[in-house]
Structure 1
Amino acid sequence: MTAIIDKIAWIHLLEGQILGARSKGKDIYYIPGGKRDPGETDHETLVREIEEELSVHIKPATITHFGTFVAEAHGKAEGTQVQMTCYFADYEGELRPASEIEELAWLTYADRERVSPATQIIFDKMYELNKLS
């Protein structure tokens, strides 16, 4: 039986770059976000996780679905997959790492090998849509 990690993620693009987050003790970047708490909607999870990890407030009225991507989960048991449901949204505040996040970075398609397998799929899609340099 395949285990699936259900993750909600925020795609933030700026001038052809995408915001990546690296957790403490990890060597690769992820799209910021996380797992939902019991009973939470996607939007509630997105707002809570981004506030916890990046210290900014997502504006709920601006949340738009981008896509859902499935790939092998990085650093987990073989057969474990991550399902990332991705959203765009505007925010208020100043981006800064918080909680388990050690570093934020603006990444381009050239950084594809430095991100998780699910994030690589998102990078490919963004590049195909001419949104990622």
Structure 2
Amino acid sequence: MELDVVAWVQVSDGRMLAVRSRGRDLLYLPGGKREPGESDWSALSREVREELDLELDAASFRELGVIRAPAHDQPDFARVRMACFTASYSGAMAAAGEVDEYRYVGRGERHLLAPAAQAALDLADERGLLA
């Protein structure tokens, strides 16, 4: 069974933003599952607001790509399908909701990331976003 999620790929100074949810051992990308009837934009902007207290900019919202990877820490799902998007934002970033920590990670810290986030890091690298 596949978990279908949306994720925000935010890169600054060649490093990708990742978050740690309460009780999780690895870092994930900001984002999550769509609610019934929710578009990718609606789901991602809601999740980023809930997790990081930021507002994404709709005019800059772009699909980066879709990755598939083994699901981590999700007992009901074997794999995850993650639609990755970029967008600029406004506000002061702060860990909120279920997020305990956020940090920017580079290629050398991929071991800190869940498998889908590792694949997203590779996608960002392929697209020339990392330093």
Q: Is TM more than 0.5 here?
A: yes
Deviation at 1:96, TM superposition (A): 0.5
Partner of 1:72: 70
Deviation at 1:17, TM superposition (A): 0.6
Aligned with 1:117 (options 115, 118, 127): 115
How many residues are matched? 131
Deviation at 1:129, TM superposition (A): 3.6
Partner letter of residue 24 of structure 1? R
Q: Structure 1: how far apart are the matches of 2:6 and 2:77?
A: 20
TM-score, normalised to structure 1's length? 0.93
Ranges of 4+ aligned residues in structure 1 off by more than 4 Å? none
Q: Structure 1: how far apart are the matches of 2:76 and 2:7?
A: 22
Q: Which runs of 5+ in 1 are unaligned?
A: none
Q: Structure 2: how far apart are the matches of 1:39 and 1:119?
A: 25
Partner letter of residue 107 of structure 1? V
Instruction: Confirm or deny: 8 A CA contact 2:54 2:89 kept in the other structure.
Output: yes
Partner letter of residue 118 of structure 1? A
Q: Structure 1: how far apart are the matches of 2:124 and 2:88?
A: 18
Q: Structure 2: how far apart are the matches of 1:78 and 1:55?
A: 29
Partner letter of residue 52 of structure 1? E
What does the per-residue CA deviation read over 1:100-119, in whole Å, with 9 as the maximum and x for residues that have no partner? 00000010011111101111
Deviation at 1:79, TM superposition (A): 5.8
- Please say which of residues 122-131 and 9-18 is displaced more in the overlay: 122-131
Partner letter of residue 62 of structure 2? T
TM-score, normalised to structure 2's length? 0.94
Partner of 2:58: 60
Q: Which runs of 5+ in 2 are unaligned?
A: none
Q: Structure 2: how far apart are the matches of 1:61 and 1:77?
A: 36
Backbone CA RMSD of aligned residues: 1.3
